[in-house]
Amino acid sequence: MVRHFLDIHRLSAEDLRGILDDAHARKAARKGWPRGRVDADAPATDHVLAMIFEKNSTRTRFSFDAAIRQLGGDSIIANAGDMQLGRGEPVEDTARVLSRMVDAVMIRANSHDDVERFARVATVPVINGLTDRSHPCQILADLQTIEEQRGPIAGKTLAWVGDGNNVCHSFMHAAPKFGFRFNVACPADYHPDLRDLARGGDHVTLTSDPREAVAGADVVITDTWVSMGDGDYEDRLAAFEAYTVDAALMATAASDAVFLHCLPAHRGEEVTDAVIDGPQSLVWDEAENRIHAQKAVLAWCLAGG
Ligand code: CP
Ligand code: NVA
Protein backbone atom coordinates (compact mmCIF):
# COMPACT_ATOMS: atom_id res chain seq x y z
CA MET A 1 0.00 0.00 0.00
CA VAL A 2 1.54 3.32 -1.10
CA ARG A 3 1.65 5.80 1.76
CA HIS A 4 0.69 9.26 0.51
CA PHE A 5 0.82 12.27 2.82
CA LEU A 6 -1.90 14.45 1.31
CA ASP A 7 -3.85 15.74 4.30
CA ILE A 8 -3.81 15.25 8.04
CA HIS A 9 -7.42 14.06 8.15
CA ARG A 10 -6.51 11.15 5.86
CA LEU A 11 -4.09 9.59 8.41
CA SER A 12 -4.96 7.76 11.61
CA ALA A 13 -4.30 9.44 14.94
CA GLU A 14 -1.85 6.62 15.69
CA ASP A 15 0.18 7.17 12.51
CA LEU A 16 0.22 10.93 13.09
CA ARG A 17 1.40 10.54 16.68
CA GLY A 18 4.10 8.17 15.43
CA ILE A 19 5.29 10.71 12.85
CA LEU A 20 5.43 13.49 15.44
CA ASP A 21 7.30 11.28 17.93
CA ASP A 22 9.78 10.37 15.19
CA ALA A 23 10.31 14.07 14.44
CA HIS A 24 11.16 14.70 18.10
CA ALA A 25 13.46 11.67 18.23
CA ARG A 26 15.30 12.53 15.02
CA LYS A 27 15.91 16.10 16.19
CA ALA A 28 17.22 14.95 19.57
CA ALA A 29 19.45 12.23 18.08
CA ARG A 30 21.42 14.63 15.89
CA LYS A 31 21.83 17.53 18.36
CA GLY A 32 25.17 19.23 17.67
CA TRP A 33 25.80 17.26 14.47
CA PRO A 34 26.87 18.94 11.23
CA ARG A 35 23.80 19.49 9.06
CA GLY A 36 25.11 17.32 6.22
CA ARG A 37 25.62 14.20 8.34
CA VAL A 38 23.24 11.33 7.66
CA ASP A 39 21.02 9.98 10.47
CA ALA A 40 22.22 6.68 11.97
CA ASP A 41 19.36 4.65 10.49
CA ALA A 42 19.55 6.33 7.05
CA PRO A 43 16.06 5.20 6.01
CA ALA A 44 16.18 6.89 2.60
CA THR A 45 19.44 5.27 1.47
CA ASP A 46 19.37 4.71 -2.31
CA HIS A 47 16.08 6.67 -2.55
CA VAL A 48 15.37 9.80 -4.59
CA LEU A 49 12.74 12.46 -3.79
CA ALA A 50 11.39 14.63 -6.61
CA MET A 51 10.02 18.04 -5.72
CA ILE A 52 7.72 20.04 -8.00
CA PHE A 53 6.98 23.69 -7.27
CA GLU A 54 4.13 25.59 -8.90
CA LYS A 55 4.51 28.37 -6.31
CA ASN A 56 7.39 30.08 -4.55
CA SER A 57 8.97 28.48 -1.50
CA THR A 58 11.89 28.94 0.85
CA ARG A 59 11.18 26.75 3.91
CA THR A 60 9.46 23.85 2.17
CA ARG A 61 12.07 23.68 -0.55
CA PHE A 62 15.14 23.84 1.67
CA SER A 63 13.71 21.73 4.50
CA PHE A 64 12.68 18.85 2.23
CA ASP A 65 16.03 18.95 0.43
CA ALA A 66 17.95 18.93 3.73
CA ALA A 67 15.55 16.29 5.07
CA ILE A 68 16.00 13.73 2.32
CA ARG A 69 19.80 14.15 2.48
CA GLN A 70 19.83 13.69 6.28
CA LEU A 71 17.82 10.50 5.74
CA GLY A 72 20.52 9.25 3.35
CA GLY A 73 18.66 9.93 0.09
CA ASP A 74 18.89 12.39 -2.78
CA SER A 75 16.63 14.97 -4.44
CA ILE A 76 15.62 16.37 -7.82
CA ILE A 77 13.89 19.76 -7.74
CA ALA A 78 11.94 21.42 -10.54
CA ASN A 79 9.70 24.42 -10.94
CA ALA A 80 6.50 23.31 -12.69
CA GLY A 81 6.95 26.08 -15.24
CA ASP A 82 10.18 24.46 -16.42
CA MET A 83 8.48 21.08 -16.85
CA GLN A 84 6.18 19.90 -19.64
CA LEU A 85 3.53 20.09 -16.91
CA GLY A 86 3.78 23.84 -17.35
CA ARG A 87 2.97 23.43 -21.07
CA GLY A 88 -0.13 21.36 -20.44
CA GLU A 89 1.15 17.77 -20.12
CA PRO A 90 -1.50 16.03 -18.03
CA VAL A 91 -0.92 15.71 -14.30
CA GLU A 92 -1.64 11.97 -14.58
CA ASP A 93 1.01 11.42 -17.26
CA THR A 94 3.55 13.34 -15.17
CA ALA A 95 2.70 11.11 -12.21
CA ARG A 96 3.14 7.93 -14.31
CA VAL A 97 6.54 9.07 -15.60
CA LEU A 98 7.94 10.24 -12.25
CA SER A 99 6.74 7.01 -10.61
CA ARG A 100 9.21 5.21 -12.94
CA MET A 101 12.10 7.52 -12.06
CA VAL A 102 11.98 8.45 -8.34
CA ASP A 103 10.87 6.94 -5.03
CA ALA A 104 8.63 9.76 -3.74
CA VAL A 105 7.26 13.09 -4.99
CA MET A 106 6.59 16.27 -3.02
CA ILE A 107 4.33 18.77 -4.81
CA ARG A 108 3.50 22.39 -4.07
CA ALA A 109 0.51 23.10 -6.29
CA ASN A 110 -1.95 25.87 -7.04
CA SER A 111 -4.89 23.49 -7.10
CA HIS A 112 -5.42 20.88 -4.40
CA ASP A 113 -7.28 18.77 -6.93
CA ASP A 114 -4.10 18.45 -9.03
CA VAL A 115 -2.26 16.85 -6.10
CA GLU A 116 -5.15 14.44 -5.55
CA ARG A 117 -5.13 13.55 -9.27
CA PHE A 118 -1.36 13.02 -9.19
CA ALA A 119 -1.63 10.73 -6.16
CA ARG A 120 -4.46 8.66 -7.64
CA VAL A 121 -2.14 7.56 -10.46
CA ALA A 122 1.29 7.62 -8.79
CA THR A 123 2.78 4.32 -7.65
CA VAL A 124 5.20 6.08 -5.26
CA PRO A 125 4.32 8.22 -2.19
CA VAL A 126 3.06 11.73 -2.90
CA ILE A 127 3.44 14.50 -0.31
CA ASN A 128 1.38 17.71 -0.27
CA GLY A 129 3.87 20.57 0.10
CA LEU A 130 1.03 23.18 0.19
CA THR A 131 -2.00 23.74 -1.99
CA ASP A 132 -4.74 26.36 -2.04
CA ARG A 133 -6.60 24.07 0.36
CA SER A 134 -4.09 22.79 2.92
CA HIS A 135 -0.53 22.72 4.23
CA PRO A 136 -0.22 19.54 6.32
CA CYS A 137 3.59 19.43 6.57
CA GLN A 138 3.60 22.85 8.23
CA ILE A 139 1.26 21.76 10.99
CA LEU A 140 3.49 18.87 12.05
CA ALA A 141 6.40 21.27 12.47
CA ASP A 142 4.15 23.62 14.44
CA LEU A 143 2.94 20.88 16.78
CA GLN A 144 6.53 19.73 17.28
CA THR A 145 7.48 23.30 18.25
CA ILE A 146 4.65 23.59 20.75
CA GLU A 147 5.39 20.21 22.33
CA GLU A 148 9.11 20.86 22.76
CA GLN A 149 8.42 24.15 24.55
CA ARG A 150 5.14 23.38 26.40
CA GLY A 151 4.71 19.59 26.56
CA PRO A 152 2.01 17.36 25.05
CA ILE A 153 -0.35 19.05 22.58
CA ALA A 154 -3.40 17.10 23.78
CA GLY A 155 -5.64 19.36 25.87
CA LYS A 156 -3.99 22.62 24.76
CA THR A 157 -5.94 25.56 23.31
CA LEU A 158 -4.62 27.08 20.09
CA ALA A 159 -6.04 30.33 18.71
CA TRP A 160 -5.93 31.24 15.03
CA VAL A 161 -6.33 34.93 14.14
CA GLY A 162 -6.76 36.06 10.53
CA ASP A 163 -7.53 34.32 7.26
CA GLY A 164 -9.37 30.98 7.26
CA ASN A 165 -6.80 29.70 4.76
CA ASN A 166 -4.87 26.55 3.82
CA VAL A 167 -2.76 26.54 7.02
CA CYS A 168 -5.88 27.12 9.15
CA HIS A 169 -7.56 24.18 7.40
CA SER A 170 -4.73 21.80 8.25
CA PHE A 171 -4.83 22.88 11.90
CA MET A 172 -8.58 22.11 11.89
CA HIS A 173 -7.82 18.66 10.47
CA ALA A 174 -5.23 18.08 13.20
CA ALA A 175 -7.32 19.20 16.19
CA PRO A 176 -9.39 16.00 16.62
CA LYS A 177 -6.44 13.77 15.67
CA PHE A 178 -4.17 15.22 18.38
CA GLY A 179 -6.86 16.23 20.86
CA PHE A 180 -6.36 19.99 21.05
CA ARG A 181 -8.89 22.83 20.91
CA PHE A 182 -8.61 25.20 17.94
CA ASN A 183 -10.33 28.60 18.19
CA VAL A 184 -10.54 30.45 14.88
CA ALA A 185 -11.16 34.21 14.61
CA CYS A 186 -11.61 35.53 11.10
CA PRO A 187 -13.73 38.10 9.24
CA ALA A 188 -17.05 36.67 8.02
CA ASP A 189 -16.01 36.96 4.36
CA TYR A 190 -12.78 35.02 4.92
CA HIS A 191 -13.98 32.09 6.98
CA PRO A 192 -12.48 28.59 6.51
CA ASP A 193 -14.02 26.16 4.03
CA LEU A 194 -17.00 24.62 5.80
CA ARG A 195 -15.97 21.09 4.76
CA ASP A 196 -12.66 21.58 6.58
CA LEU A 197 -14.38 23.21 9.52
CA ALA A 198 -16.60 20.13 9.81
CA ARG A 199 -13.53 17.89 9.93
CA GLY A 200 -12.50 19.65 13.14
CA GLY A 201 -15.82 18.71 14.77
CA ASP A 202 -16.31 19.99 18.30
CA HIS A 203 -12.57 20.61 18.68
CA VAL A 204 -12.94 23.80 16.59
CA THR A 205 -14.78 27.04 17.35
CA LEU A 206 -15.36 29.91 14.91
CA THR A 207 -15.84 33.59 15.76
CA SER A 208 -15.17 36.96 14.17
CA ASP A 209 -13.78 38.31 17.46
CA PRO A 210 -10.00 37.84 17.93
CA ARG A 211 -10.26 38.47 21.69
CA GLU A 212 -12.85 35.73 22.08
CA ALA A 213 -10.62 33.23 20.27
CA VAL A 214 -7.41 34.21 22.07
CA ALA A 215 -8.77 34.46 25.63
CA GLY A 216 -6.64 32.17 27.80
CA ALA A 217 -5.11 30.36 24.79
CA ASP A 218 -1.80 28.49 25.11
CA VAL A 219 -0.74 29.30 21.55
CA VAL A 220 -1.60 32.22 19.25
CA ILE A 221 -1.10 31.68 15.53
CA THR A 222 -1.50 33.81 12.44
CA ASP A 223 -0.50 33.80 8.77
CA THR A 224 -0.42 36.22 5.89
CA TRP A 225 -3.67 37.94 5.01
CA VAL A 226 -2.90 37.41 1.30
CA SER A 227 -1.85 33.90 0.35
CA MET A 228 -0.14 32.96 -2.88
CA GLY A 229 -2.81 33.02 -5.56
CA ASP A 230 -5.10 35.51 -3.76
CA GLY A 231 -5.86 38.48 -6.01
CA ASP A 232 -7.90 40.79 -3.79
CA TYR A 233 -5.01 42.42 -1.90
CA GLU A 234 -6.66 45.79 -1.11
CA ASP A 235 -9.97 44.22 -0.05
CA ARG A 236 -8.12 41.85 2.24
CA LEU A 237 -6.05 44.56 3.91
CA ALA A 238 -9.28 46.39 4.72
CA ALA A 239 -11.15 43.29 5.92
CA PHE A 240 -8.32 42.15 8.21
CA GLU A 241 -7.53 45.54 9.77
CA ALA A 242 -8.76 44.46 13.23
CA TYR A 243 -6.94 41.12 13.09
CA THR A 244 -3.33 42.11 13.74
CA VAL A 245 -1.69 40.03 16.46
CA ASP A 246 -0.17 42.71 18.69
CA ALA A 247 1.05 42.88 22.28
CA ALA A 248 -2.42 43.85 23.56
CA LEU A 249 -4.00 40.76 21.99
CA MET A 250 -1.17 38.50 23.22
CA ALA A 251 -1.78 39.84 26.73
CA THR A 252 -5.26 38.28 26.69
CA ALA A 253 -3.83 34.79 26.06
CA ALA A 254 -2.40 32.59 28.84
CA SER A 255 0.52 34.23 30.65
CA ASP A 256 2.95 31.67 29.18
CA ALA A 257 1.39 31.68 25.70
CA VAL A 258 3.63 31.30 22.67
CA PHE A 259 3.31 32.78 19.18
CA LEU A 260 3.64 30.89 15.90
CA HIS A 261 3.68 31.97 12.24
CA CYS A 262 4.53 29.62 9.36
CA LEU A 263 6.33 32.49 7.55
CA PRO A 264 6.83 34.43 5.38
CA ALA A 265 5.52 37.19 7.69
CA HIS A 266 4.33 40.68 6.88
CA ARG A 267 5.30 42.78 9.87
CA GLY A 268 2.80 45.56 10.50
CA GLU A 269 -0.01 43.57 8.87
CA GLU A 270 -0.92 40.24 10.50
CA VAL A 271 1.65 40.65 13.29
CA THR A 272 3.59 43.47 14.90
CA ASP A 273 7.39 43.53 15.22
CA ALA A 274 7.02 43.43 19.00
CA VAL A 275 5.23 40.08 18.87
CA ILE A 276 7.10 38.23 16.13
CA ASP A 277 10.48 39.45 17.38
CA GLY A 278 9.50 39.25 21.05
CA PRO A 279 10.08 36.65 23.79
CA GLN A 280 6.86 34.69 23.15
CA SER A 281 7.67 34.08 19.50
CA LEU A 282 8.89 30.61 18.48
CA VAL A 283 8.95 31.28 14.73
CA TRP A 284 12.62 30.38 14.19
CA ASP A 285 12.29 27.06 16.05
CA GLU A 286 9.14 26.52 14.02
CA ALA A 287 11.02 27.10 10.76
CA GLU A 288 13.87 24.79 11.79
CA ASN A 289 11.39 22.09 12.77
CA ARG A 290 10.24 21.90 9.17
CA ILE A 291 13.36 19.80 8.57
CA HIS A 292 12.75 17.41 11.47
CA ALA A 293 9.02 17.08 10.78
CA GLN A 294 9.55 16.58 7.05
CA LYS A 295 12.10 13.86 7.76
CA ALA A 296 9.51 12.03 9.84
CA VAL A 297 6.94 12.37 7.05
CA LEU A 298 9.41 11.09 4.46
CA ALA A 299 10.48 8.18 6.68
CA TRP A 300 6.83 7.22 7.22
CA CYS A 301 6.05 7.39 3.50
CA LEU A 302 9.11 5.34 2.50
CA ALA A 303 8.47 2.72 5.20
CA GLY A 304 5.23 1.85 3.37
CA GLY A 305 7.25 -0.03 0.77
N1 CP B 1 5.99 28.09 5.63
C2 CP B 1 6.27 27.74 4.35
O3 CP B 1 5.74 26.76 3.80
O4 CP B 1 7.22 28.52 3.79
P5 CP B 1 7.65 28.53 2.26
O6 CP B 1 6.52 29.10 1.46
O7 CP B 1 8.89 29.40 2.22
O8 CP B 1 7.95 27.12 1.83
N1 NVA C 1 -1.10 30.79 3.47
C2 NVA C 1 0.19 31.01 2.85
C3 NVA C 1 1.20 30.07 3.43
C4 NVA C 1 2.60 30.23 2.90
C5 NVA C 1 3.55 29.24 3.47
C6 NVA C 1 0.08 30.85 1.36
O7 NVA C 1 -0.58 29.91 0.90
O8 NVA C 1 0.66 31.66 0.63
CATH number (domain holding residue 48) = 3.40.50.1370
Spatial neighbors of 135 by CB under 8 A, at least 6 apart, are 128, 166, 167, 169, 170, 262
- The residue whose CA is least distant from atom 1 of ligand 1 is 262
Ligand 2 atom, smallest distance to 262 CA = 5
Atom of ligand 2 nearest to the CA of 223: 1
Q: Tell me, yes or no, whether 230 lies in a domain.
A: yes
Q: Is the same domain home to 157 and 264?
A: yes
Pocket test for ligand 1, best of 263, 284, 286, 297 (most atoms within 8 A of CB): 263
CA-nearest of 265, 263, 208 to 240 is: 208
In this prediction the pTM is: 0.98
1 found inside a domain: no
The mean pLDDT value for 23-49 works out to 98
Cα separation, 227 vs 241, whole angstroms: 16
Residue 109 in domain: yes
- Cα 155 to Cα 158: distance, rounded to the nearest angstrom: 10
pLDDT tens for each residue of 216-261: 999 999 999 999 999 999 999 999 999 999 999 999 999 999 999 9
Positive or negative CA dihedral for 291, 296, 297, 301?
positive
Residues 166-179 pLDDT 10s: 999 999 999 999 99
Most ligand 1 atoms within 8 A of CB, residue of 290, 294, 297 to mutate: 290
Q: Are residues 237 and 159 both part of a single domain? A: yes
pLDDT band (50, 70, 90) for residue 272 = very high
Structural domain range at position 269: 137-286
Reduced to 3 states (helix: H, G, I; strand: E, B; else coil), residue 259 is strand
> Does 60 fall in a domain?
yes
CA distance 172 to 27: 26
DSSP string, 88-108: T--HHHHHHHHHTT-SEEEEE
Clarify whether residues 91 and 166 are in a common domain. no
Over 90: is that where the pLDDT of 305 sits?
no
Both 144 and 96 in one domain: the answer is: no
245, β-bridge pairs: 271
Backbone phi, psi, residue 128, to 5°: -80, 110
Share of the chain above pLDDT 90, in %: 99
Ligand closest to 223 (CA) is: 2
Residues 35 and 130 in one domain: yes
For residues 138 and 261, what is the distance between their CA atoms, to the nearest angstrom?
A: 10
Instruction: Tell me, yes or no, whether 2 lies in a domain.
Output: no
301, 3 in Cβ contact below 8 A? yes
267 has pLDDT over 80: yes
Query: How many structural domains compose the chain?
Result: 2
6 lines ligand 1 (CB under 6 A): no
Query: Is residue 228 a part of any domain in this protein?
Result: yes
Residues paired with 26 in a beta bridge: none
User: In terms of DSSP H, where are the helices of 151-185?
Assistant: 166-178
- 79 with 193, same domain: the answer is no
Instruction: Kindly report the backbone phi and psi dihedral angles of residue 214, in degrees, each rounded to the nearest multiple of 5, phi listed first.
Output: -85, -20
**Strands in 57-128 per DSSP E:** 74-79, 104-108, 126-128
Provide the annotated active-site residues. 108, 135, 138, 223, 262, 290
Nearest CA to ligand 1 atom 7: 58
At how many degrees (to 10) do helices 166-178 and 136-150 cross? Answer: 50
